[in-house]
Amino acid sequence: MSYTIEGSTGSWEVVIGLEVHAQVISRAKLFSGAATDFGAAPNTQVSFVDAAFPGMLPVINRECVAQAVRTGLGLAAHINMVSRFDRKNYFYADLPAGYQISQYAHPIVGAGTIEIELADGSTRAIGVTRLHLEQDAGKSLHDQHPSLSYIDLNRAGVALMEIVSEPDLRSPEEAGAYLRKLRTILRYLGTCDGNMEEGSMRADVNVSVRPHGAPFRTRCEVKNVNSVRFVMQAIEAEARRQIEVWEAGGTVEQETRLFDAARGSTRSMRSKEDAHDYRYFPDPDLLPLVLDEAWVAELEAGLPELPDARRRRFIAQYGLPAYDSGVLVAEQATADYYETVAKGRDAKLAANYVMGDLFAALNRTGRGIGDSPVSADALGALLDLLADATINGRIAKEVFEAMVETGEHPAAIVDRQGLRQVTDAGAIDAAVERVLAANADKVGEYRGGREKLFGFFVGQVMKAMAGKGNPGLVNAALRKHLGETGE
Amino acid sequence: MTLTDLTLTEARDGLRQRRFSSRELTEAHLAAIEALNPRLNAFITVTAERARTQADAADAAFARGDAGPLAGLPIAIKDLFCTKGVRTTAGSDILGPFVPPYESTVSGNLLRDGAVMLGKANMDEFAMGSSNMTSAYGAVENPWKRRQDREAVLVPGGSSGGSAASVAARLALGATATDTGGSIRQPASFCGIAGIKPTYGRCSRWGIVAFASSLDQAGPVARTVRDCAALLRSMAGHDARDSTSVDCPVPDYEAACSRGVKGLRIGVPREYRADGMPGEIDTLWQQGLAWLRDAGAETIDVSLPHTKYGLATYYIVAPAECSSNLARYDGVRFGLREGAEDLTDLYERTRARGFGAEVKRRVLIGTYVLSAGYYDAYYLKAQKVRALILRDFTDAFQRVDALLTPTAPSAAFAQGENMDDPIKMYLNDVFTVPASMAGVPGMSVPGGLDANGLPLGLQVIGRPFDEETVFAVAAAIERAAGFSHRPAIRAGNGA
């Protein structure tokens, strides 16, 4: 069932398009050699080009172009072999040249697709309209002095990819899935770290509403939303605002709005009348960007396996459910970890351990897969101890927790704590006899038909054996002693 | 021997033969500047001590035997070129006390080859002007005088007016200049010297304060064609820091000056006859063609049908680019800053105070032609016409090796003339603008004097990156013209 919002006049469909600004991973800026490290002291990563000193000229950074092409290829998009840079003119204190160099009329990447997966297991293909390269602006600091603003130009000139979607999204959930999927792809490609908290990925959200099946209505743009959660909240808030306007007999005006996360609502930033006239024109300091076919082919050959392909492979190769595969490939490091554990082992069991015990442990310890207290090799070794019946499943859980605590190798923990499972028939028989003798009443009930009690006996025997009994042998011994030699 | 009367290449040969030192040559020019610059105002900044140090270094290099091609030769640098540690104004108040922490590629190339910088030459503000009257640092006086009207103070042309006047008055052996629509060629013509705007992309624009990026090109002015050839060889060359600089070898331009024109086909574009152009300019043009035929060239009538649109399209494209290029002068990071209430106020006060009337006019025109709703009608249309102008030249160069035209539709005019109507001033560039729009090289060479005793230049236009033919043709005219007139105001003759 598709997402709708019920208004007083009927149900409304929400139409969403996203413009994502993704900071390109590159050592130097788009048109200068200055560094791009996050968090450096203000104005320490600024060249004369970035500060727009007289006579300074931009020179395109090849690596930034390569990153844009890789991203385009990763989005299955058309690569434009000839693209062009334009100037977007406006005055602001943190825009040193008085114009931003961007690609307006002829972007480097054309139409592509992002496949999103939704909670109900369905997938949808969302159109990507275009991707273009542009410079970031600097930062205005208004809180450093009572009456003056300070300017930090470290970010000025850093390369951004603006990735524009078609208005194909129909719910906050879809928008969230799109952003997460885009982030996953960018991280796989190594073209953007996708870190929304640090601002290296930001979204402008275009929202309109319409009665079901009606033509598109006027949209509003909610600028600079900096988390997936806020994007989803902003869409709902803005959609509800627009529905109220329409239902009250009003008209939604095209405008730029801001999302106030604290209030959970959007407010007007500037109306269409106040919109800038950016006076775009081709930047005469730069020649058209002409790509070489062989170079693009080389970049394509160097692409990693992307999340969709990897998910399909996990399903086929490891026999995992689609959901598990999706979870495991969401982060490249997780997928790599999983494959190390699964290699030559029970793939489903490996998935259960990674998605269950490991994720829980990471959550609890506040760590990521990259600095997991349990290495993929160590988890693999634990599964090996299970596979060769050195320990049983229950003990394995204990050993895993000890591994999280100590970082020790599972075999060492098993040896030191004497956790090897008992397969000696005599010892098991003895434990079974003790338990049945101590619970004669329950034995009677069981024989009288309360077969559920079998589990109780298993538990008691395991307890008597400090959990180390081989579960299969314990079951067999119990059945024998309770007078059943199997079905 | 008066050292300041030597041509640049003569002085070079004298230095090499150790007939005099660079220090002597430099002191002679500094003395001339001291004597005449208060009147001519050709320099905004004189760097005497720096010049002496560089001269001594050149003399030491001669003593060691490792002097560069331009070692010890005192020249002026147009104040549009950023010079490391030396104030650079672009002729504007808005740059205030700005001292660049870097050296432009072109001036750096000249210093690398041993040239001595005497100072920074006056110019129209941001190179916008054809009379040097728009400079925030005052007008420059043309050292030439009308025979009949000795009182009139003439303009040197512009925008490279200080460069041309300093060279004509023998305050410098040569100078750097820049040309966006005629700013090298027109002042060269007005001041009776030679000047070449090379092909767009031949000289790096890195470190040159930008006016109109797709048109701006650096070049030399000097008293002879050969001097220009020697300077351009050092100035030119590929620069990775300028994406529009072209990677193509820089030939020996001086050698080209001796080539002669035998067998060359010289085109005579029929559209280069401006309304109201003095008859003597047409006469000089015909004379120039006759000289070339005498030297063995063939002259052929050609048509450049879109010439008539050159000026109109130029005054769309150049202001459009300048409106964007000058946005960086905002009072935030360098140069002038006027105290203000808020950011908008800062922009308005700083730019209102810092820019002169002509710069403001062009920024406004440029902002207008790029505006939503007008872009297609003006900027886009102008770009299409620009392509047609280039095609005119490309077609003509199928049939001819170079073109000969007058450089400007008049001789130098007096300060105050042509000031009432900007369009009248813009008409000065009618013959120089088309080559700028097409990006092809053009050179002005003195051809003779008008009835008033003022110099008139002829313009040689060549194929892209074929400055050698331009030099060959210009040198042939120079030889035939035997132009040996000197301006009234010059070193040793303070008038």
Q: Tell me, what's the pLDDT at A479?
A: 87
pLDDT tens for A147-190 read: 889 999 999 999 999 999 999 999 999 999 999 999 999 999 99
Query: Is residue A21 domain-shared with residue A67, that is, in the same domain?
Result: yes
Q: Which residues of B touch A (CB under 8 A)?
A: 81-82, 88, 90, 95, 98, 100-102, 104, 205-210, 212-214, 240-244, 320-321, 323-324, 326-328, 330, 332-334, 343, 347, 367, 370-372, 375, 379
Closest of B104, B36, B32 to residue B74, by C-alpha: B32
Query: Is residue A289 domain-shared with residue A327, that is, in the same domain?
Result: no
**Which of A378, A393, A417 is the last residue before a domain boundary?**
A417
Q: How many domains does chain A have?
A: 3
The domain that holds A442 is classified in CATH as 1.10.10.410
Question: Chain A residue with minimal CA distance to B211?
Answer: A55
Q: Is residue A143 part of a domain?
A: yes
Q: Is residue A374 part of a domain?
A: yes
pLDDT tens for B180-212 read: 999 999 999 999 999 999 999 999 999 999 999
Distance CA(B244)–CA(B417), nearest Å, equals: 37
- Look at the block and give the residue holding tokens 């892209």: B464
Query: Is residue A274 domain-shared with residue A380, that is, in the same domain?
Result: no
Q: Is residue A162 part of a domain?
A: yes
Q: Is residue A53 part of a domain?
A: yes
Query: Is residue A207 domain-shared with residue A310, that is, in the same domain?
Result: no
Query: Is residue A309 domain-shared with residue A293, that is, in the same domain?
Result: no
Distance CA(B313)–CA(B475), nearest Å, equals: 32
Complex confidence, ipTM:
0.96
The helix/strand/coil state of B302 is strand
**Which of A417, A435, A451 is the last residue before a domain boundary?**
A417
Instruction: Verify whether the Cβ–Cβ distance A98 to B328 is below 8 Å.
Output: yes
Query: Is residue A124 domain-shared with residue A254, that is, in the same domain?
Result: yes
- Look at the block and give the residue holding tokens 């011994």: A477
Distance CA(B172)–CA(B103), nearest Å, equals: 20
User: Would the pTM count as exceeding 0.80?
Assistant: yes
Instruction: Verify whether the Cβ–Cβ distance B244 to A284 is below 8 Å.
Output: yes
Q: Tell me, what's the pLDDT at B420?
A: 84
Instruction: Verify whether the Cβ–Cβ distance A97 to B328 is below 8 Å.
Output: yes
pLDDT tens for A184-198 read: 999 999 999 999 988
Query: Is residue A87 domain-shared with residue A171, that is, in the same domain?
Result: yes
Q: Is residue A487 part of a domain?
A: no
Q: Is residue A455 part of a domain?
A: yes
Question: Does the pLDDT at position A486 exceed 70?
Answer: no
pLDDT tens for A203-244 read: 999 999 999 889 999 999 999 999 999 999 999 999 999 999
Question: Does the pLDDT at position A487 exceed 50?
Answer: no
Instruction: Verify whether the Cβ–Cβ distance B320 to A48 is below 8 Å.
Output: no
Chain A CB contacts of B320 below 8 Å: 281
Query: Is residue A378 domain-shared with residue A473, that is, in the same domain?
Result: no
Instruction: Verify whether the Cβ–Cβ distance B102 to A48 is below 8 Å.
Output: yes
Q: Are B157 and B139 in contact (CB under 8 A)?
A: no
* Average pLDDT rounded to a whole number, residues B340-366: 96
Question: Does the pLDDT at position A485 exceed 60?
Answer: no
- Per-residue tokens: A465: 């054996």
The domain of A378 spans 305-417
Query: Is residue A147 domain-shared with residue A250, that is, in the same domain?
Result: yes
Name the phi and psi angles at A49, rounded to 5: -65, -45
Q: Tell me, what's the pLDDT at A38?
A: 82
High-pLDDT (> 70) share of chain B, %:
99
Q: Is residue A486 part of a domain?
A: no
Query: Is residue A294 domain-shared with residue A311, that is, in the same domain?
Result: no
Closest of A112, A260, A126, A257 to residue A189, by C-alpha: A112
Q: Is residue A450 part of a domain?
A: yes
Cis, bond preceding B159 (omega within 30 deg of 0): yes
Q: Are B232 and B198 in contact (CB under 8 A)?
A: yes
Q: Tell me, what's the pLDDT at A201?
A: 96
Query: Is residue A20 domain-shared with residue A161, that is, in the same domain?
Result: yes
pLDDT tens for B50-82 read: 999 999 999 999 999 999 999 999 999 999 999
The pLDDT confidence band at residue B277, using thresholds 50, 70 and 90, is confident
Nearest-neighbour CA in chain A from B178: distance (Å) = 13
As a whole number, the mean pLDDT across chain B is 96
**Which of A264, A298, A332 is the last residue before a domain boundary?**
A298
Nearest-neighbour CA in chain B from A161: distance (Å) = 22
pLDDT tens for B140-159 read: 999 999 999 999 999 999 99
Chain A CB contacts of B81 below 8 Å: 55
The helix/strand/coil state of A327 is helix
* Average pLDDT rounded to a whole number, residues B351-355: 98
Distance CA(A96)–CA(A100), nearest Å, equals: 9
The helix/strand/coil state of A7 is coil
Query: Is residue A253 domain-shared with residue A375, that is, in the same domain?
Result: no
What secondary structure letter does DSSP report for A420?
Answer: P
Domains of chain B with CATH codes: 3-258 (3.90.1300.10)
**Which of B211, B239, B370 should be substituted to probe chain A, the one whose Cβ sees the most A Cβ atoms within 10 Å?**
B370
